[in-house]
Amino acid sequence: MGEKKFSLEELSNIVGGILTKKENVEIVRVAPPLLADENTLALALSEEEIENIQDSKAKAFLVPLGVNFDHVSTIEVERPRLAFMKLLNVFYVAPNTPLGIHPAAVIDESAKIGKNVSIGANVYISANAQIGDNTALMPNVYIGAGAKIGCDCLLHPGVNIGDRVEVGNRCIIHHGASLGADGFSFVTEAPSNIEQAREQGTIKEVNKETKVYKIPSLGSVVVADDVEIGANTTIDRGTLENTTIGAQTKIDNLVMIGHNCKIGNACTIVSQVGIAGSCVIGDRVVIAGQAGLKDHVEIGSDSIILAKAGITKSFPPKSVIMGAPGVLRKDFIKRLKYLDEAEIMVQKYKKYQHLLEDYEKFLNEDAKI
């Protein structure tokens, strides 16, 4: 594949920017100012990177609206991160997914394969599975029985799609992700320690001989259109109903989504989040890194859960939640304020403690008279 080359006018039109041109520059790459050369469009989108312009070898810069320099060409943009995305898509080199079916792939004769697909080495497609047009399955992908993969999807190496899982159109699933494993669902003959703790707040009787039975998962996983799922993320199938992921939701690496969960549209779920079974997440919810949600909680649309929050109850739409146990941000800040005030009170107490002790001693001696 040849090197991509663009004029400043072409790139300015792509990002919808305002071009102030000092000279003709052929652009073949993008980079931060200090890593740029004369054929680089340098991305000076933050105050720090703007300061680095003077030390850069680049002759052209992408900058926020209102930033301009006399000695270099600039493309000014109103929304820098959006322009950044458009540029990276221009210079992005897609994974190598040659059209056709690799001879080392194994495809059941009952499977339905669409047009213009790419099926790599050691891919296994089970009975009655369906693969949509223009979809690429990279090496070592497993597709379970009756699973359906939509059109224009990209499944990276090592993805495992369980039986009857449905993936919509234009989805990207990264290395090692697992969709459709059984849910983590069990039951004991006698009330378990967890059941006792929930109902009574204590653990009174322990049955060391009790048996633990697996509850099978009869549901599956349904992923809507334009979803991206990160590497080594796991999404379990539902017990009776399907676990569902809404359209345009973006899920980072190493996320765990339990059985029966309903994730809304356009959500952002960051790395190492754990969502226990039967949670309902509204639309456009952001869950930051390492947050954890207990089972059966509901988070309203347009809410934000901050990093490392521990969610033990439901919250209404437009909530900003932080802390463990999770509370509304305004309540968390109020608690921090109370802690500061408590520290001041302790310091005052220590300062006058001797007077209080003397007064108590006086009262005790007076009581003896």
The set of catalytic residues is 259
Side chain identity at residue 61, one-letter code = F
Distance separating alpha carbons of residues 240 and 259, to the nearest angstrom: 9
Measuring CA to CA, how many Å separate 88 from each of 8, 211, 221, 254, 288?
15, 55, 32, 24, 24
- Residue 188 pairs in a beta bridge with 212
Say if strands 186-188 and 212-214 run parallel, antiparallel, or are unpaired. antiparallel
Strands (E), 82-175: 100-101, 106-107, 112-113, 118-119, 124-125, 130-131, 136-137, 142-143, 148-149, 154-155, 160-161, 166-167, 172-173
Strands (E), 127-230: 130-131, 136-137, 142-143, 148-149, 154-155, 160-161, 166-167, 172-173, 178-181, 186-188, 212-214, 221-223, 228-229
Q: Which residue has the tokens 């980079």?
A: 31
Structure tokens at 145: 């029985």
Say if strands 280-281 and 73-77 run parallel, antiparallel, or are unpaired. unpaired
Q: Give 71's DSSP letter.
A: S
Distance separating alpha carbons of residues 137 and 151, to the nearest angstrom: 12
Helix crossing, 8-15 with 80-91: angle to 10°? Answer: 120
Q: Give 203's DSSP letter.
A: -
Length of the chain: 369
